[in-house]
């Protein structure tokens, strides 16, 4: 039996890099992909936390952000050829529940999350349904295509901000990778000022270099006061929580009749809010979970050249060095960690 190298979720807080069988095309709609590049997400860090912030199935291959090449396909696959480069939506909806049938596949009741519920992409090869694949042009390099999955999730949130107008003031809570994607997407959408809240000096540097209007450390400065000072006392038109624990901070920063977008996820975090703050201030509070018909636009965005996130790659590693990248992310000493499963060394 042919084997490949993969990162396996063994138990709470534990992983291994070991040889496992190479998956095979078993269904007519399957694609077998060589993983050319993949990246460590905050979700992977949450899975390997103690206790886990995200519950994953023990024994699976971890990872869900990738770009790869088709090396085999099922007999029913149409529109894809061996040798095509693709990016993958790791969330596989069932297609038959009421959520899927009404067009809300991102909230499928039977969602199968690759890298969480089933084998993911931290391996030399992986199998996905062709329905999850989106082709990428040859002009889009692996180091940029690997961003498609997380940027797609942010594009799903941006899509919800349909009342946003050019020139409006926005606040992004959290200056990690997700917060920085949102910052750039808001700027492309016409935001006048994008203020980023971030406590890490390491991340602050990246936010400033990428064009944040101002990066505020809320441990050293009153964020709400600063935002109101910049908006003639009104508050921000839009506030995005990219962390998952900062609804009260969002409420303090947003203007009356403004919008709060909740994106960050932390299953262990609990908050106490005053509901009347939302009602009396006529606020719109929206949740956003993964992308919703936004993968193709994301590929077009990254292929266009109008935005480039490769400066956020702080580590390029082999699969054997997954633990090095994970630890750097845990310590806040990394932004984007990209792995190359089919390379023995990375320059």
Residues 101, 275: Cα–Cα separation, whole Å: 32
Query: Residues 3, 29, 43, 231: which is the catalytic one?
Result: 43
For residue 277, give Cα distances in angstroms to 97, 254, 264, 281: 35, 11, 21, 6
Going by C-alpha positions, the residue among 334, 312, 311 that lies closest to residue 322 is 334
The answer to whether 253 and 239 are in contact (CB under 8 A) is: yes
Residues 26, 70: Cα–Cα separation, whole Å: 15
Residues 176, 245: Cα–Cα separation, whole Å: 14
* Catalytic residue status for 43: yes
* Catalytic residue status for 46: yes
Q: Which helix (H) or strand (E) holds 238?
A: strand 236-241
Angle at 89 between CA 339 and CA 122, to 5 degrees: 25
Look-up of token digits 């441990």: 219
Instruction: Say how far residue 115 (Cα) sits from the centre of its chain.
Output: 13
Angle at 41 between CA 90 and CA 236, to 5 degrees: 100
β-pair type (193-197, 214-216): parallel
Going by C-alpha positions, the residue among 326, 342, 337, 332 that lies closest to residue 13 is 326
Q: Is 314 exposed, middle or buried (0-12, 13-18, 19+ CB in 10 A)?
A: middle
Query: Residues 3, 29, 46, 284: which is the catalytic one?
Result: 46
**Six-digit token pair at 165?**
């107008």
Please identify every residue annotated as catalytic. 43, 46
């Amino acid at each position: 039996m042919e084997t490949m190298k993969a990162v396996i979720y063994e138990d709470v807080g534990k992983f291994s890099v070991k040889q496992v069988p190479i998956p095979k095309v078993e269904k007519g709609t399957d694609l077998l992909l060589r993983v050319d590049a993949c990246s460590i997400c905050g979700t992977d860090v949450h899975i390997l936390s103690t206790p886990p912030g995200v519950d994953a199935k023990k024994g699976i291959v971890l990872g869900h952000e990738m770009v790869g090449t088709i090396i085999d396909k099922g007999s029913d696959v149409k529109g894809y050829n061996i040798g095509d480069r693709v990016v993958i939506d790791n969330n596989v909806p069932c297609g038959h529940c009421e959520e899927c049938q009404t067009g809300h596949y991102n909230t499928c009741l039977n969602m199968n999350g690759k890298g969480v519920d089933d084998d993911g992409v931290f391996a030399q090869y992986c199998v996905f349904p062709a329905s999850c694949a989106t082709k990428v042009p040859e002009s889009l390099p692996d180091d940029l295509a690997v961003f498609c999955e997380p940027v797609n999730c942010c594009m799903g949130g941006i899509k919800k901000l349909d009342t946003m107008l050019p020139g409006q003031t926005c606040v992004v809570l959290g200056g990690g990778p997700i917060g920085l994607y949102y910052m750039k997407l808001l700027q492309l959408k016409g935001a006048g000022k994008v203020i980023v809240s971030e406590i890490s000096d390491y991340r602050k540097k990246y936010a400033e270099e990428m064009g944040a209007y101002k990066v505020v450390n809320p441990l050293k400065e009153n964020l709400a006061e600063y935002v109101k000072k910049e908006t003639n006392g009104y508050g921000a038109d839009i506030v995005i929580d990219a962390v998952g624990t900062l609804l009260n901070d969002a409420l303090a920063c947003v203007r009356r009749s403004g919008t709060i977008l909740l994106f960050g996820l932390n299953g262990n975090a609990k908050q106490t809010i005053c509901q009347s703050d939302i009602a009396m201030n006529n606020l719109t509070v929206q949740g956003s979970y993964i992308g919703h018909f936004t993968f193709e636009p994301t590929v077009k965005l990254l292929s266009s050249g109008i935005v480039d996130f490769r400066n956020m790659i702080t580590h390029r590693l082999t699969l054997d060095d997954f633990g090095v990248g994970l630890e750097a992310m845990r310590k806040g000493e990394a932004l984007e960690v990209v792995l190359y499963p089919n390379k023995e060394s990375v320059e």
